[in-house]
């Protein structure tokens, strides 16, 4: 390993590349079954959901169109406040569409709960949520998440779209950061 190898910054691997891909295949099969005969508009939440969107949409057999939103939740970096601002809105009219929001991780659930009601107000046929990871805090909010990959430990995780100071998004696995990185 050379001194610039990113894996030196990680403490533990939580989910390997294979585990992630198997889980995504499993979620895609469940989604195809539930949406049988219907087109799906998958909405990825930038930037974290990029990897999940790319792999999940390729694993789906349903007719899919893709769109993206970028939101920022005001708060102190690692915690979100529930006050959300749209940085990039959808290009698509949601009227009559079956919308599936795709997320990397739900922590407090405040961002997604805001996003779901925002999209529901635009006249879609349905809005459901698919997230690869869910932290324990998410259990406290009244938000119906139909597809969950892994219930993960309450630690800061990076990789597969998830970042720390914009780094580590490109990893094909998910892990926890070594203390020397954030200390
Ligand atoms: P909520 O509103 O559910 O916000 O609290 C979820 C958003 O918070 C970010 N987040 C993380 N990002 N590792 C990350 O890289 C984490 O462990 C983590 N926990 C929360 C993320 O942007 C997510 O969309
Ligand atoms: Mg995110």
Q: What ipTM was estimated for this complex?
A: 0.91
Per residue in 66-122, pLDDT (tens digit) is 999 999 876 555 556 667 899 999 999 999 999 999 999 999 888 899 999 999 999
Spatial distance between the Cα atoms of 6 and 1, rounded to a whole number of angstroms: 9
For residue 116, the 8-state DSSP code is H
CA of 105 to the centre of ligand 1 (A): 6
Q: In 10 A of CB 65, how many CB atoms? A: 12
CA of 45 to the centre of ligand 2 (A): 6
Q: For residue 135, give the ligand 1 atom closest to its CA.
A: 19
Q: For residue 103, give the ligand 1 atom closest to its CA.
A: 24
Question: pLDDT at residue 157 above 70?
Answer: yes
CA of 129 to the centre of ligand 2 (A): 13
- Between 62 and 139, the higher pLDDT residue: 62
What integer pLDDT is reported at residue 2 of this predicted model?
Answer: 57
- DSSP letter for each residue of 41-107: EEEEEETTTHHHHHHHHHH--S-EEEEEEEEEE-SSSSS--S-EEEEE--SS--TT-EEEEEEEEES
Q: For residue 168, give the ligand 1 atom closest to its CA.
A: 15
Q: Closest ligand to 84 CA?
A: 1
Q: Does ligand 1 have an atom closer than 6 angstroms to the CB of 156? A: yes
Name 106's bridge partners.
134
Q: Does ligand 1 have an atom closer than 6 angstroms to the CB of 177? A: no
Q: Closest ligand to 49 CA?
A: 2
First to last CA, the chain: 23
Mean pLDDT of 144-173: 95
Spatial distance between the Cα atoms of 137 and 160, rounded to a whole number of angstroms: 21
Ordered domains of the chain (ranges, CATH) = 19-155 (3.40.50.2020)
What integer pLDDT is reported at residue 133 of this predicted model?
Answer: 97
What integer pLDDT is reported at residue 159 of this predicted model?
Answer: 97
pLDDT tier at 4, thresholds 50, 70, 90: confident
Question: pLDDT at residue 140 above 90?
Answer: no
pTM: 0.92
What integer pLDDT is reported at residue 76 of this predicted model?
Answer: 54
Provide the residues around ligand 2 (an ion) whose CB is within 5 A.
48
């Amino acid at each position: 390993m050379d001194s610039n190898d990113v894996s030196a910054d990680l403490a533990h691997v939580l989910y390997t590349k294979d585990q992630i891909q198997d889980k995504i295949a499993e979620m895609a099969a469940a989604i195809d079954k539930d949406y049988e005969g219907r087109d799906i508009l998958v909405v990825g939440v930038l930037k974290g959901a990029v990897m999940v969107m790319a792999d999940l949409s390729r694993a789906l057999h349903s007719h899919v169109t893709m769109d993206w939103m970028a939101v920022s939740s005001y708060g102190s970096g690692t915690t979100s406040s529930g006050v959300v601002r749209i940085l990039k809105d959808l290009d698509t009219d949601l009227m009559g569409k079956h919308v599936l929001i795709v997320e990397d991780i739900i922590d407090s659930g405040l961002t997604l709960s805001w996003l779901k009601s925002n999209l529901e107000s635009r006249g879609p046929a349905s809005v459901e949520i698919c997230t690869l990871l869910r932290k324990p805090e998410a259990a406290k909010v009244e938000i119906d998440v139909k597809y969950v990959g892994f219930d993960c430990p309450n630690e800061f995780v990076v990789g597969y779209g998830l970042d720390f100071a914009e780094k580590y998004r490109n990893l094909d696995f998910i892990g926890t950061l070594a203390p020397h990185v954030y200390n």
